[in-house]
Each structure stands twice: as structure tokens, then as C-alpha cells.
Amino acid sequence: MSPGLGLAMAVATMGGVGRLRPGPGTWASALVLPAVLLGPLGCLALGLVLWAVGFWATQRILGEDTAADPAWVVVDEGAGQALALAALPVGAGVTGAALAFLLFRILDIVKPGPVGWADRRHGALGVMLDDLLAGAIAACLILLLRAAIPEVPL
């Protein structure tokens, strides 16, 4: 194993979570849910850090195979889920985390519009971008819900 590849694998699989079956992306998204306790800025920071290290790790693992998107690479799901959580208010509870989780997973699986477009990109950017867009869209939907119905308990 070349230097740094072990670390890249650990990052890409989020410590091995990407090896869980079934639904490794769902497991990775669930792993990030406790980050809701960090508040919006903490979740945003976590999403950006996961994106940056995930991009590095994915690029390192894929090498010349820019068409690959292995199911066990789940750091992208972690980054996208953290972005969705960033739209929740400080002190958000289980209901808010569940809403962010469901919205993100639906968008990541169905891949509507720009999420599907990003999913068709190649290389590390393509692997990471679709989940970032799914997380950003989920966050926008949560913010719209909060603006439309301020009393909704999240």
C-alpha cells in the first residue's frame, strides 16, 4: 500500500462505515447526525472539513480511474448530511435531525435536477459534488420551512 493510501481509505470510508451493508451511504449519514449538537456553524464547519478531506481522499483512491464512484466511499454523504444539519436552529432536537436526514437521503437517492447532473461528473469532484448539492438543497428546504412556519418544532 502506497504512503497515504491507508489514511485516504479511512477518510473515504469514514472509519470503515462505508463497508457496512446494506446502505453504506445511509449509515454514513446517520453517523453524522449527532453533529446537530454542534449547532449550525459547527455543522457547516464539519461539512466543509469533510468535503475538503473527502475530496483529497477520493482523488487519492481513484487515481486514474476517474469514472469510478465506489459505494464504500461515503465521506461525501457525511459532508452533505452535515450541510443539511447546518440549516437547523441551535438546540434542534430529534425531529429536526430526522427531517434533515430524510430530506438529504431522499435527494441523494432520487438525484433530482442539479444533484443528478453532478452525479454524472467524473473524478473526485463528481463523487463529492452530488452529495454537497443534495445537502445544500435539503438545507434550503429546511430554511424555507422554518421561514414559512416559524413555530414548527425542529
pLDDT at site 1? 54
pLDDT at site 142? 97
pLDDT at site 123? 87
- For 31-68, the pLDDT digits (tens) are 999 999 999 999 999 999 999 999 999 999 987 766 67
Of 132, 140, 139, nearest to 50 by C-alpha is: 132
42-51, 64-73, 85-94 — which is least confidently predicted? 64-73
Domain boundaries, the chain: 23-59+74-148
What is the DSSP secondary-structure string of 92-106? Answer: --HHHHHHHHHHHHH
Is 90 exceeded by the pLDDT of residue 122?
no
- Beta-carbon contacts of 98 under 8 Å, excluding residues fewer than 6 positions away, are none
Rounded to two decimals, the pTM is: 0.93
- For 128-144, the pLDDT digits (tens) are 999 999 999 999 999 99
Q: Which segments of 14-122 does DSSP mark as H helices, in order?
A: 24-32, 39-62, 75-85, 94-110, 113-119
Alpha-carbon distances of 69 from 16, 23, 35, 66, rounded to whole Å = 16, 15, 26, 8
Q: What is the mean pLDDT of the chain?
A: 93
